[in-house]
Every structure is written in structure tokens, then in C-alpha cells.
């Protein structure tokens, strides 16, 4: 009985204690929600003439290091023509450059992500060291030089970004594009690539100094040949190497992230480059990527079928033209034969006429002599 009484007392004392006595320390109870970083600015650096195989730690330590911190596309596919201007528009519009090269089949330049961002009230800047982006559309801050070198382009870009604070900036460096070719002048090409990389390094260093590097989305790519594509940003994976993609995929990817609609887009959103987020889970992005690739494959098959039909039509037209050509050649040969025969007849008639004239003249001379002897005319 005494034991039961003691147990009852212990239980009563347990319930009498405040629950706070058994609570965990405040620092343990509170689960702090991590602060979600947001992209402060987007900067796309295009180096004209930069080739993917030249982005190495020896030639491009800064660009290469940025690729290690972000993502790097294994192979960047491009469409003809292989020109700086057309591919700059492809990077900024997501359209195929062959569709509007030389004014385009529809006679217009596609809208760029810069001009579409401006329509949403997003301030943009374009610092163009090549002077080829005259038709880039509405841009808040546009500078096309002339610049003496890429150093001046970077200086101008740093000044614009620091003072004007545009959200999206495109910086185009002349690089080795207009001066040197990797195939024709390898030494000077490498020197020019390294010089451009040094300017990119100076740009990145200033972002670190300003404390904006971590919140800046950076893209580095090229134009002609087989360019690289490197992306570093809060929304993107880090230290990854992506499957092959195209220059035309950059604009729709940026457009998706910042709610910018683009027309004439043929590129795909790089779902496999993005980090999961509340509005995009891994499974959702995988499904979207599969859907986009399947649609692109179906479009490619349709295009191949259309090309095959066009090829058949061209072959049939070629056969028809060949037959017409043969008929025309036969008619020409027949006419040439007739002309040749007529020429022969004409020649024969000329010779006959000349012979008749000569005979006539000879007969007249003979007759004259006979008559002179007989009648003594013309004495």
C-alpha cells in the first residue's frame, strides 16, 4: 500500500511541473528558413570567334573557372550561316539564323530578349564591341562604340552596370573574331583568346569587389565556328556538364526564368540545367525536357519528310528540265542542220550566180569580138 501511495505522489509531481521545464532550448526548437537568394542581374558575355576547344585553363583560365563553378554545355550546335551578326541574333532571340539571314524570308529581324524585357519594364543594356547589333530593338542603354579594343568595351560595361543598374546586360567583345582564325593564324588566335579572357577576368573581379558576383547570372558564349556555352547562376546547377544544346536555347531559357515571352523561338528551355524550385520539381523538369525533345524530334522528322518530298520534287523537276533541255538541244541541232543546209544552198547559189555572170560576161566578150570582125562595128 505504501508503495502505491509513493507512486501516486511521483506521478502527481510529474504533471505538476510546467511543460516549459522539459522544453528544448529556443535555439534548438526554432528552425530557421534559409533566405532564398534572388538573381540581382543577368550578364551575357559574347566573345566573337571564341571556340569551345580553346576554353582551357591555359588559354582561358577565367572563362574555364566560371565553367567549373556553373555549367558547361558539352557541345553547342549551330545552324548556318556562320556569321557573327546572325548568331548574335540567334543568341538573343532563340530563332534559327538561316530563317532571317540577309533580311530574312519574312523580311524582319526577330524580337530579342532585350526588347521583350523592355516591354515588361525590365531595364536592359547592350554594349556591342562589334558594331553589328544596330537592329537589336528597344534597349534602355545601348553603346556600340566605336571601341578601340575589348578593354574599352569592358570599361563601358562596368560603368553602365554600376551607374545605370540594368537587370539584363549583353556585352559583346570583338575577341579574335574579325582579326584571327584558329585555322589560319593559330598563334595570334590564341593570344587574342587569352587577351579576351583577361578582360573577362577583370570584369569578374570587379563583380567580386562590388559584392554582386554571387547574385549575378553570368553567361559566356561565342559566335562563329563551334562556340562554348557556360552559365553560372543561382537558378542553375553547378559543376555540371550538359548534353549538347544550341545557341538558340539560351534565350528561351532566360525568358522562362524571368517571364519574358519571345516570338519566332525555335530553341528549347534547358530544363536539365536548372535547380529544382517550388514551381519546378525534378520530375516536372524531366517530363518537360522529354516532352520538348520529343516535340523537337517530331518536328525534325516532319522537316526531314518535307525535305525528302522537296528532294523528290526537285529530282522530278530535274528530270523534266533534262528532258526539256534534250528536246531544246535536238531542236537547236535540227535548226543548226537546216541553217547549215541553207548556208550550203546559199553558197552554191552564190557560186552558181557568179559562174553565170562570168559565163555571161565571157559570152558577151566573145560575141563582141565576133560581131566586130563580121560587121566591123566600133571602128
Does 101 or 110 have the greater pLDDT score? 110
CB 177 within 8 A of CB 153: no
E-assigned strand segments in the chain? 41-47, 71-73, 76-77, 124-128, 141-143, 168-173, 216-222, 229-232, 240-242, 245-246
Single out the residue in 259, 275, 291 at which a domain terminates: 275
pTM of the model: 0.74
Quick one: 206 and 98 in the same domain?
yes
Q: Is residue 28 situated within a structural domain?
A: no
Q: Is the pLDDT of residue 33 over 90?
A: no
Residue 311: CB atoms within 10 A of its CB come to 10
Range of the domain at 194: 41-275
Tell me what percent of the residues of the chain surpass a pLDDT of 90: 53
Residue 135: CB atoms within 10 A of its CB come to 10
Quick one: 154 and 266 in the same domain?
yes
| Sequence-distant (≥ 6) Cβ neighbours of residue 241 within 8 angstroms | 71, 72, 73, 74
Quick one: 207 and 61 in the same domain?
yes
Single out the residue in 250, 275, 300 at which a domain terminates: 275
Quick one: 289 and 266 in the same domain?
no
Please state which of the ranges 135-139, 241-245, 257-261, 348-352 shows the lowest mean pLDDT. Answer: 135-139
Amino acid at each position: 500500500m505504501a508503495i502505491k501511495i509513493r507512486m501516486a505522489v511521483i506521478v502527481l509531481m510529474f504533471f505538476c511541473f510546467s511543460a516549459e521545464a522539459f522544453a528544448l532550448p529556443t535555439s534548438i526548437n526554432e528552425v530557421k528558413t534559409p533566405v532564398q537568394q534572388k538573381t540581382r542581374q543577368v550578364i551575357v558575355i559574347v566573345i566573337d570567334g571564341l571556340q569551345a576547344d580553346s576554353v582551357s585553363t591555359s588559354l582561358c583560365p577565367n572563362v574555364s573557372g566560371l565553367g567549373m563553378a556553373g555549367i558547361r554545355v558539352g557541345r553547342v550546335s549551330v545552324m548556318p550561316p556562320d556569321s557573327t551578326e546572325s548568331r548574335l541574333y540567334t543568341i538573343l532571340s532563340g530563332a534559327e539564323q538561316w530563317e532571317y539571314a540577309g533580311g530574312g524570308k519574312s523580311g524582319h529581324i526577330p524580337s530579342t530578349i532585350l526588347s521583350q524585357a523592355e516591354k515588361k519594364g525590365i531595364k536592359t543594356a547592350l554594349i556591342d564591341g562589334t558594331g553589328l547589333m544596330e537592329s537589336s530593338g528597344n534597349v534602355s542603354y545601348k553603346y556600340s562604340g566605336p571601341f578601340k579594343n575589348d578593354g574599352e568595351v569592358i570599361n563601358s560595361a562596368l560603368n553602365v552596370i554600376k551607374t545605370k543598374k540594368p537587370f539584363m546586360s549583353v556585352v559583346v567583345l570583338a575577341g579574335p573574331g574579325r582579326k584571327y582564325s584558329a585555322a589560319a593564324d593559330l598563334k595570334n588566335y590564341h593570344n587574342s583568346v587569352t587577351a579576351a579572357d583577361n578582360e573577362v577576368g577583370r570584369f569578374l573581379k570587379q563583380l567580386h569587389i562590388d559584392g554582386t558576383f554571387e547574385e549575378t547570372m553570368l553567361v559566356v558564349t561565342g559566335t562563329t565556328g563551334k562556340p562554348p556555352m557556360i552559365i553560372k547562376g543561382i537558378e542553375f546547377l553547378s559543376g555540371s556538364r550538359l548534353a549538347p544544346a544550341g545557341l538558340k536555347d539560351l534565350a528561351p531559357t532566360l525568358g522562362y526564368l524571368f517571364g519574358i515571352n519571345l516570338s519566332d523561338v525555335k530553341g528549347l528551355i534547358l530544363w536539365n540545367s536548372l535547380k529544382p524550385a517550388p514551381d519546378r520539381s525534378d520530375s516536372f523538369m524531366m517530363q518537360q525536357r522529354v516532352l520538348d525533345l520529343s516535340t523537337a524530334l517530331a518536328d525534325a522528322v516532319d522537316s526531314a519528310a518535307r525535305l525528302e518530298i522537296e528532294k523528290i520534287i526537285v529530282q522530278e523537276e530535274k528530270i523534266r528540265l533534262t528532258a526539256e533541255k534534250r528536246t531544246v538541244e535536238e531542236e537547236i541541232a535540227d535548226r543548226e542542220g537546216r541553217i547549215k543546209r541553207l548556208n550550203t544552198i546559199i553558197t552554191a547559189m552564190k557560186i552558181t550566180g557568179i559562174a553565170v555572170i562570168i559565163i555571161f560576161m565571157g559570152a558577151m566578150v566573145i560575141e563582141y569580138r565576133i560581131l566586130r570582125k563580121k560587121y566591123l562595128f566600133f571602128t
